[in-house]
Structure formats: structure tokens, C-alpha cells
Amino acid sequence: MSDASVDLFRIGVPMCYTIAVIFGVFGVYLAYYSYNAKNADHSISYYLTARNTQPMLLVIWGLFGTAVGAGVINNPAAFITDYHTGAGYLGMVAMCVFTGLPLLLAGILGPTFRSKLPQATSIAAFAKWRFGAEFGILVTIVSLITMATTLATELQSLSNMYIQVLGLPFEKRSGPIICAGTIPLLYILMNGLSASMSSVQFQSLFAMLIFMLTLLYLGAVFRPGDMDVIPAYLDTTAKGQASFISLGSQLTSSAMFSDAMWQLVWSAQSDATIRISSSVACILASSVTFIFSIFSFLAGWLGLVTHSWDATSSTSNSGIAFFQALRMATPKNDPQFTPVGPAWLATLICMAGTALNASFVSAYQVGLVNTITSVVLVRGFCPSTHLARFILLAVNIPIIVASVALIDVAAWACCARLIATCFLAPTLMGMLESLDKIATGASAIFGVLSSLLCVFIYAWTKVTEKKELSSSAYDVFFHSKTVWQPHAIALIVSAVGMLLYALVDIGVRSMYGWTLPDAPKPEESPAEDKKPE
């Protein structure tokens, strides 16, 4: 290992820990200041959603923080350039588009949520109001699992960044995870979502400044020269084509059933604020993803990404493909030269990733407690902020432990998102007034169960002499990130099943003269029966 590489580990890791602590202390200060301000709102509603108080700038950075974390530094690179599992340039396009595009859901659907459920706090509250308690409970479970696995995946992505870029020994991987999981809890415990959003703007701005510096550096020194024919695995591939459906549905479902995003809808000062904020955040998220994706793709095209050519081996450096572009742009006689480019710039990028991770983690930590607390925001009972703080600790500590315990949370996240995809179409159909008589609780549940059954049938069709049904189902649910069929089945069958059930239901009701189903009125929402005090 060169002296520069040793310095990268000895200096880079402490610098990243330091920036995490600095933002943590600053976040505690902001939370303390706002909590003790004159006329401060200490209600459970404000703790969870900061309802109708947050300006556009904070909402923009808040939405950006729910889409982009430390994973943006190495996940797109591996998804695009890995020889065995990568999706090539089409995967790059899909990754860039669907990192930001789901944020538009907040701008498109947010005003509807705000008008019909002004006192709600979560997507589960909407599902309960629109479809009934049974479907609301199912959406609550799906939201919790989706957010928990997404949060754990982000914590492991940060650890992977420290290991792959800074050279942190694998046996010390728990340090970054524990640090990233606990520091945001300190200021969130004090003042909830408001504290998270106040910190996110500074964390995101810090990261964006470093990314701009990185882009200027690459623009000045990166000269690929004559490029050979694009390698086949980076060109048009089946995995790349499939990613538009598979990755698109996963990221959209993950956002749809994440209160990390929806809580920001109720926090915005107005409908116009959330509409504009979601559009700007979408552009920012896709742009940052594009920066890391395009240079990773070019590094793969230039042959800078190594491959083992053996699917069972893990010697590929595709996860740090972006840094191979930095490495190529750095003169080898530079005293700062390392396998991941100049040590100073690699350290800064990892510091930026640490800051983005804090934004992402804090948003999801508040989102989790939001989802659980919304379940008990029912008639006659309004929980206190102390209960919310207890739930915050009780939920997030096990997630941190699971992230440290080497559980394959990425596979679990894939499974959770496929199941969430089964709920996506019915939930969206419930937001259309033209489908008020079709989108009922019973039809929605029937659509979800039909889609899950058809996904299992698809897994059964993949059974061979060497692969049993259990193994086939495991592959479909846990390793289908670049397989489009199960996601398409989940989307289409859930919508068709819902329509078929509704047609039969309406036909039977009409035949016997029974009352046709209709959507509940906004004032009938259980969340409005008892406003938090």
C-alpha cells in the first residue's frame, strides 16, 4: 500500500467521522434553539410533520435528502458497470430518471392529500381513510418494512463506501453504521421533523459544494482520448432494458410508501410550495445521480473497471468505478495518487457522502416513527411526543443492529419493494375521483392478493430439475432488481384484479338494488376526529 493510500485511511476516516459529529452538534443546537423559541409548537402534530410551517427551500432539500444518500457514490457505479449484474448505459438512464422522478409524486398527489386529510400524518392514514381499516393496516406494514429495509441498506452503503474508498478494514465496518445511525437521533429526539429539515439544508449544501468541485476537477483534467467500441455488457442489454420496469417500479413504490417523503407534504407552507419543491428536488436528485453514473460508465468503457469473470468471485471494483475515472485523471507521479484518485478529493467526496447519509437517515428515522404513531392517532387518543420519542428509539436501534449484523438487507429491500409494487396501483387508483365506485377496500385487497398470487405462479414457472419452488421464489422476490417480469405482473394484475372485483361487486349491487360504494368525504377522516393538541 502506498504512503498516499495509508494517509487516505489514517486521515480520511477521522475526517468523515469529524464531519458527522460536527453536523450532529450543529443539529442539536438548531433543535434546541427552535424547541425553546418563543411560541414554539410542542404538539405531536408539529413533532411529526411540522405542519404548514416549512418554507420552500427547506422542503426542496428535505425531498432531495429522502432520495439521495451515501449510496449515490457507489450504488449507481455497481449497478451500471458490474460485468455479471450490471445494466449498462440503459441502466444508467433508468437509475438517473427514477432516482428523481418519484419525488414528483409529492407535487402531483400532495395537494390532494392536504385538502382531503389536512390533519393526517402518513400515507397509511390516507389508505385507512380511503379504503378502510383493513387496507390501512396492510399499507402501514408495507410502509414500515419498506422504510426499514431502505434505511438499513443506506447504512450499509455508507459502510461500503468507507471500506472500498477509504480502506477501512472490513472487521471495523460497524463504526460508520453506528455513528450514522445514532448521531441524527440526538437532534430528532429533541424536535422531530423540524430539527431534521433544519439540518438537512446545511448537510445537502455542503455535499453539493463538494460535488461541484469534483465536477470542475474532472472537467479540467479528465481526458479519455480515443475510446474503443463500447463493451457488450455496457451496451444495450436485457438487464438494461428490464431496469426501466424493475428499477422504476421499485424506486417508485419505495417512495410511494415512504413517510420520509409524505411527511414533507404536510410540512410545506402551501400547495404551491410542495409542487415547486418536488420539481426542483427531482432535478437535483437526478443530476447528482447522473454525475456519479456517467463517469462510472466512462470508467467501465475505458476498461478501468476490473472483473473476475467468475460470478462467484467478488474481486470486481465496479463499486468504485467513479473513483477509477478520478484515478485516470490524476498523474501517477502526484504524491496524492491512490487507487481511488487524489487522496484529498476522495476524502472530500466521502465527507460529502457522510453528510448526505445523515440527511437520508434522519428523514427515514422520523418517517418510521411517523408511520407507527399515525396508527394510534384515532378516536379518543392523541399520543404525546414522549411516546413518539420512545418509538423512535425502539424502532431505529434494531435497524442499526441489523445493519451491523451483516444481514443481506439489500435483498430484503428488493423483496419489500416488490411487495409494495403490488400495493402501488390500487393505492394510486384510490386517488382518482373518477374511480370512487371502483376503488374500495375489498377491491384493493383483492387486487393485491391477486398480484401476489400471480408473482408466485411466475416463480413456479421458473422451477427446474435443479431449482425447487422455494429457491425460485427466493430469486424472484429477493434478487429481481434487473428482472422485469415480476414487477410488471405486480403492477398489471393488481390493477386488473381490482377492476374485475369492482365490476362484479357493482353488478351484484345493481341486481339486488343495494347501495353502490362511494369514496368517503374528507370530513369523515378518522384523523380529523381528534386533532392533536
**Residue 530 pLDDT:** 43
The grid cell for 153 is: 441498506
Write down the pTM of the prediction: 0.90
CA distances (Å), 249 to each of 252, 422, 433, 482, in order? Answer: 5, 10, 24, 11
**Predicted pLDDT at 315:** 59
Residues 440, 120: Cα–Cα separation, whole Å:
20
> Residue 15: its pLDDT value, please?
94
Q: Can you give the pLDDT at residue 26? A: 94
Buried b (16+ CB within 10 A) or exposed e, 13-46: bebbbebbeebbeebbebbeebbeeeeebeebbb
Q: Domain boundaries in the chain?
A: 3-37+44-409
State the residue for C-alpha cell 471495523. Answer: 172
- Residue 333's pLDDT is 59
**CATH value of 3-37+44-409 in 1.10.540, 1.10.3470, 3.30.70, 1.20.1740:** 1.20.1740
pLDDT at 436: 79
What confidence score (pLDDT) does residue 326 get? 84
- Binned average pLDDT, 10 residues per bin, the chain of 533 residues: 67 93 94 84 83 91 94 91 85 94 92 82 87 91 95 94 90 92 92 90 95 91 83 89 93 94 91 94 96 92 74 65 82 66 89 95 92 66 77 91 88 94 93 82 94 93 76 87 92 94 88 78 49 39
**CA dihedral defined by 483, 489, 492, 496, rounded to 10 degrees?**
180
